[in-house]
Amino acid sequence: MATLKGLLLGFGTAFLLGPVFFTLIKNALQHGKNAGISTALGIILSDMVVISICLLATTSLIESIKTEPIVKYIGAAILLFMGIRFTFWPSVDGFDNSSEVKKSNLWEYLLQGFLVNGVNPFVFIVWIGFITVGKNSYTNAELYLFLGSILVGIFLTDIAKSFLAHRIKPYLKPYYLKKAYQIIGSILIGFAVRLIYFAVS
């Protein structure tokens, strides 16, 4: 039951439309499925770090991470930079169905996924919720199985998004791709403004 419930919760994250979702889709659309998969790996690594912090850290430290304005400002700065870049400089040059991202650039997309996910305080809130559910429902051994299953579910849904974006890419003309990137960039800017609002309020 712990495995099944964890997988279902992980699959449920496919419907969460946050900055991570739009970053993953944008990278997969523009640079192919390998870039999307690298972004997904960065997201999972970031989630693993967040889980470790939530399991090992004190309650006061977790609350500090969730509420500390500097964390929100750093997250907002990263999202703002990416959002402005996507909105005002959407690159579709050389975009074709056979293009593949260079292996040397895969680390860049992994880092993007790691940072966009890791600096978002709301990610800590989500994982604290998952851990609380697990601790109240399972033994220690089952808790790790539960959390691991959530990670597997998240990773599989992110891989599916990467392949789906890659599949529809051949049907998108450069004009519509440019508009799609601009929309994604505007959404990321919106998330950045939201983080700044929470930091100052």
The per-residue pLDDT for 87 is 72
Q: Kindly report each contact of residues 127-131 with a partner whose C-beta sits within 8 Å and lies 24 or more positions away, as own/partner.
A: 127/47, 127/50, 127/51, 127/54, 128/54, 128/62, 130/9, 131/51, 131/54, 131/55
Whether this model's pTM surpasses 0.75: no
Share of the chain above pLDDT 70, in %: 77
The per-residue pLDDT for 152 is 93
**Rounded mean pLDDT, 98-119:** 76
Report the range out of 33-42, 103-112, 179-188 with the highest average pLDDT.
33-42
* Residue ranges of domains in the chain: 2-9+17-68+90-171
**Are the beta carbons of 95 and 141 closer than 8 angstroms?**
no
Closest alpha carbon to 18 in 104, 116, 106, 114: 116
The per-residue pLDDT for 130 is 85
**What are the pLDDT digits (tens) for 124-139?**
878 888 888 788 778 8
**What are the pLDDT digits (tens) for 21-78?**
888 888 888 788 888 999 999 999 999 999 988 888 755 655 665 566 776 777 677 7
Q: Which residue has the higher pLDDT, 189 or 16?
A: 189
**Are the beta carbons of 149 and 3 closer than 8 angstroms?**
yes
Q: Which residues contact 26 (CB under 8 A, 6 or more apart)?
A: 86, 180, 181, 184
**What CA–CA distance (Å, rounded) separates 71 from 111?**
17
